Each structure stands twice: as structure tokens, then as C-alpha cells.
Amino acid sequence: MSEIALTGLLLLVLFALLGSGVWVAFSLLAVGMVGMYLFTEAPIGQIIASTIWGHSNSWALAALPLFIWMGEILFRSRLSDDLFVGLSPWLQRLPGRLLHVNIFGCGIFAAVSGSSAATAATVGKLSIPELSKRGYPEQVMIGTLAGSATLGLLIPPSIILIVYGVATEQSIARLFVAGILPGLLLVVLFVGFVVVWSLINRDQLPEGGEQYCFSEKIYHSRRLIPVVLLIAGIIGSIYSGIASPTDAAAVGVALALLLAWQSGSLSWNTFIEGLMGATKTSCMIAFILAGAAFLTVAMGFTGIPKLLAQWIGSLELSNYALLAALTIFFIVMGCFLDGISVVVLTTSVIMPMVEQAGIDPLWFGIFIVIVVEMSQITPPVGFNLFVLQALTGRNILVVAKAALPFFVIMLVALAIIVLLPEIVTYLPQNM
């Protein structure tokens, strides 16, 4: 049977299971078992047991639940209030004014959350009512929030970068550092779009709001100090080599608890809710990773990744053509699966092709994350769209239309890092 037929059969099994509502983790295990049963004589049970234990017993993976817990704590704190009050005085004179609160607020929260959906919910629950009350156009308001919230996947500490690092055995610290400049690039592109849009559509923006003198801006900015120190502590400790990502995550949890307590938003109920939310999310991701680990091993036994890599190599595609094809593939996958599932489902098959093409796996990790960001704002399964639908009460197609310009901007950012890969690789090479 050819490699295409083998892959097609297993994909058919996978989509049949996913389409019937079977959990992603069980679907991955089942596909791996089918592949091994049909094409190898290896002992399936023993391999499942050893693979799941070996990949679960990982110190690097310990950073995952800690960063998730940190985000859950801050999600339940007064952080969104502090972001709006601290940022808005500085943005009144910038074209687009308070629309930039969504962008910068999401960028800051992304650096302490690691979750796209949590970023959208935290910033959106305050900014949407405030911007609506001031008369800002709904479409741009929703679009800036939908696009900027995806920064939670890229700006470290990123949950999906931890997943990619564990799945591909890449350094999580180097992946975190590699995500900094692309994240800042996206912030600049989003701000640039809002500035240009606001200059063209001056009549759609409300009249100028309250003006602040410099001392008043400094006074309001004091509420940003705790979260800025938290970000600096996490990223700085990793970049300087003082702490591993896991150590930095533990420090982040302690500082997040202190920040929530200091703001008066930490109670026994919020503590338990945050802990249970982090536990549920972490267990779901760990279960998916276990299934993906077995699928990776099973694919190795069947030889499918090697055959596919050889087949792709025989097509003599340029790296640009290969990346264009993978971009379309990941966007389509992201229309039906969440970002973490896309990463763990595809790495076992995609990475041999990528390595054979001579593409840096570290750079490719950032490439994947940006494409997965794009899929977060594409229907029918764009998680950010669901969050914003709940916050605004609008139809999901209305939300998706508002997010479309930011999808295009992320496509531009993707082209920039393809043409200038040093944007991704410069900091990791000099850390």
C-alpha cells in the first residue's frame, strides 16, 4: 500500500472518530492502534504503557499547569480594570485612541496568561462595555479584540509553545525567547492598521475624550506596575538563564497570587475556582499530549512519516512552496480543531518533512503558532470568535467578518518572518 493510501486510511479513521464526538485524546490513541495493528507486529499494549509514562514523566511539562494556573488567577483578578485605567490616558492622542487599549491590553495580558481565549475574555469583559459607552464603532472594536487576543498564543509564556517544545523536543526557553520579536511585530502591525483606519474613517470615531497632563498619566500608570514587574520577572529570569521555564512558572504563580491578594480580588472561592480551572485544562492538554505521543511512536513503527517525507522530497518543492502548502493545511485543520490539537496531531508527520527540507524546527514552531493564531479567528471552530460572541451577543459570522482584517494582517506577518527568519532566530541565537 502506498504512503498516500496509508495516510488517507488513517486520516479517514481519525476524522470519523472526531466527527462522531470521540475525545481528541482517545481518537489519537485509536488511530495509533489501528496503524500498528494493520502495519506492524509490535506489542501494542506494552508500547502504549511505556510511551504514555515516558512522555508524561517530563519536568519540562510541569511548566504547563503552572502557567495555566497563573493565567486563571489573573483572569479572576482586577487586572482588566488596571489595564484599562493604566493604558487609556497614554492613548488619547494616538489616532484610533482607546481602540489601542484592546491591542496593548491583550499584548500585556498575553505575557502573563499564555491563553488566547483567556486574553480575549479578560480584556474584552471590560473594554467592550467601556468602548461601546463612548461610541466606538462595534466592528473595529470587536476586530481589534479578536486579532489581538491571539497574541496569547505567541508572546511568552505561551501554552502552545510548551506543547510544541515537548512534542518536538525543542528547548522551551528558546521557543519563548523566539516568540518575543514576532509578538511585537504583530502588535506594531495591529496598531498600524488601527491608525490608518482611523485616519481614513475620522467621522466614525467619537469626539476626543478626557485629556490628561503628564503627571496624571504617570499617576494612572501606577496600576500597571505590578503586572509589568510580573512580566519582567518571568521573561527576564528565563532570558538571563537564572530560571528554567518551569522554575519561572512557579515564581509566576506565587507572584500572581500575591498580585490578586494585593488587589483585594483573592478569596477562597476564587482560589478554588482558579485551581480547578487550571486542573481541568491541564488534564485535558496532558491527555491529548499522551495520545499524540503514542501516535508519534506508532507512526514511527509504520514508517509513514519517512515515506511521506521521501514523497514530498521527490516533488522537489521549494521551501516557499512547502510552507505555502503547510499554511493552507494548518488553516483548514484549525477550522475544525483547537490549536493544541492541531499541533499534537501533525508534528509526527510534518516534522520529518520540515527537517528534510532544512527548515529550522525552532523557527517552524513560531510559524505554526502564527498560523494557529489565524485559525483562532476563522469559523466554524475559532475559539476567540466564540468568546467574543458570548461577550457581544452578536452572530458568529458578524464577529468573524470583524476579525477578517486581522486575519490578513497575520498572513502578512507570516510572510515577513518567512522572508526575514532572523526576526525569530536572532534572540535565541544570542541568549
Treating both helix axes as pointing N-terminal to C-terminal, what angle do 116-133 and 63-75 enclose, rounded to 10 degrees? 20
Residue with cell 494582517: 409
With contact defined as beta carbons under 8 Å apart, do 105 and 123 qualify? yes
Q: Where are the domains of the chain?
A: 3-429
Q: What CA–CA distances, in Å, run from 419 to 185, 373, 413, 426, 429?
A: 14, 19, 10, 14, 18
pLDDT of residue 338: 66
Residue by residue, pLDDT tens for the chain (431 residues) are: 555 666 677 778 877 887 777 777 788 788 888 888 877 777 888 888 888 887 777 676 777 788 778 877 877 777 666 777 777 777 777 787 778 888 888 887 777 766 677 777 777 777 787 788 778 888 888 888 888 888 877 887 777 888 888 888 888 888 988 988 998 999 999 999 999 998 888 877 776 656 667 677 777 777 777 777 777 777 777 777 777 777 888 888 888 888 888 877 788 888 898 889 888 877 877 777 787 778 777 777 777 666 665 666 667 778 888 888 888 888 877 766 667 777 877 777 788 778 878 889 999 999 988 988 887 787 755 667 777 877 777 877 888 888 889 999 999 999 999 999 999 999 888 86
In the chain, the amino acid numbered 323 is: L
Q: What's the full length of the chain, in residues?
A: 431
With contact defined as beta carbons under 8 Å apart, do 285 and 19 qualify? no
In the chain, the amino acid numbered 426 is: Y
Nine-digit cell string for 191? 496598531
pLDDT of residue 189: 94
Q: What is the pTM of this model?
A: 0.74
Hey, is 430 helix, strand or coil?
A: coil
Whole-number Å distance between alpha carbons of 48 and 44: 6
pLDDT of residue 311: 67
Q: What CA–CA distances, in Å, run from 249 to 147, 151, 234, 268, 327?
A: 26, 19, 7, 22, 31
